[in-house]
Amino acid sequence: MIPEISVVILCYQEGQRLNSFVNRTVNILKRLLVPWEIVLVANYWNNQDDETPIVAKKISSQANNIKIISKLKEGGMGWDARNGLQEASGQFICLIDGDGQMPPEDIISVYKKIKSENLDFVMTYRIERGDSLIRKINSYTYNLVFRILFPNIKVRDANSKPKIFTQETYFRMHLSSNDWFLDAEMLIQCARMKLKIEEIPVTFDKCANRKSFVKLDAIFEFIKNLLRARIKEFFIKSD
């Protein structure tokens, strides 16, 4: 049976914590009363001690509608996400981090909005954040620069998840980012195609079990990618 919704969970270095997050997600999806699937992205670096692939494989072996992607990493978050999205077969495709900061309960909210309002892309924006000061500074600076460079894209929080989009929208996007810029790349491409994008407010919980993988110097990489994308869009619109 073709799933109504596919949920791609980014599981990098979650280990045993992944069990509770997947259990919560499964219980939430069952409440939707539609066919669903989960894609666990458990990619890993060769020189790191990470039990996540083993945990994810055990979880997927217990249900036919839970898939696992477990490869030696060739990139960062964007590379992982693109691997997972390629395996999603649902009419609606939802992308979420598996660290618990983004409550899986928000999947229901974005799913209901995209379906009831016939939208192409729905995302979240964080009205409360349990983040460190560094992450808050990173996010504020990045979103400010994003709004300045792309004033036509009316979103508050480019990197927030869960994000959900139709399968058609996914096929129309040609994603290539291997790092954190993937979130912005999605929005830029959807805006270029004049697709219908909406946001809903969410609360971003504190990540109590591990340190963030996003460091202060990541903001410079974000801004560099944004400037490169802005220049690219100028030439695309000039064709």
The 10s digit of each residue's pLDDT in 93-133 is: 999 999 988 889 999 999 999 999 999 999 999 987 766 67
Task: Give every CB contact of residue 20 below 8 A, 6+ residues apart in sequence.
Answer: 100
What mean pLDDT do residues 38-55 have?
94
113-117, 218-222, 226-230: the lowest-pLDDT one: 218-222
Cβ partners under 8 Å of residue 104, min gap 6: 21, 24, 25, 28, 96, 162
Single-letter residue type at 138: N
The predicted-structure confidence for 146-184, as pLDDT tens digits, reads as follows 999 999 999 999 999 999 999 999 999 999 999 989 999
d(C-alpha 19, C-alpha 38), whole Å: 13
Quote the pTM value.
Answer: 0.91
- pLDDT exceeds cutoff 50 at 239: no
C-alpha to C-alpha distance for 53 and 42, rounded to whole angstroms: 5
The domain defined by 5-238 folds into Spore Coat Polysaccharide Biosynthesis Protein SpsA; Chain A (3.90.550)
Indicate whether 135 pLDDT > 90.
Answer: no
Lowest mean pLDDT among 18-27, 31-40, 87-96, 211-220: 211-220
Structure-model confidence comparison of residues 218 and 215, the more confident one: 218
Domain boundaries, the chain: 5-238
Determine how β-strand 92-97 pairs with β-strand 163-166: antiparallel
Mean pLDDT of the chain: 91
Say which residues have a Cβ less than 8 Å from residue 195's Cβ, sequence separation at least 6.
Answer: 120, 121, 169, 172
CA distances from 93 to 114, 124, 174, 178, 227 (A): 11, 15, 15, 19, 28
- The answer, yes or no, to whether residue 46 has pLDDT greater than 80, is yes
Of 184, 167, 166, 165, the C-alpha closest to 176 is 184
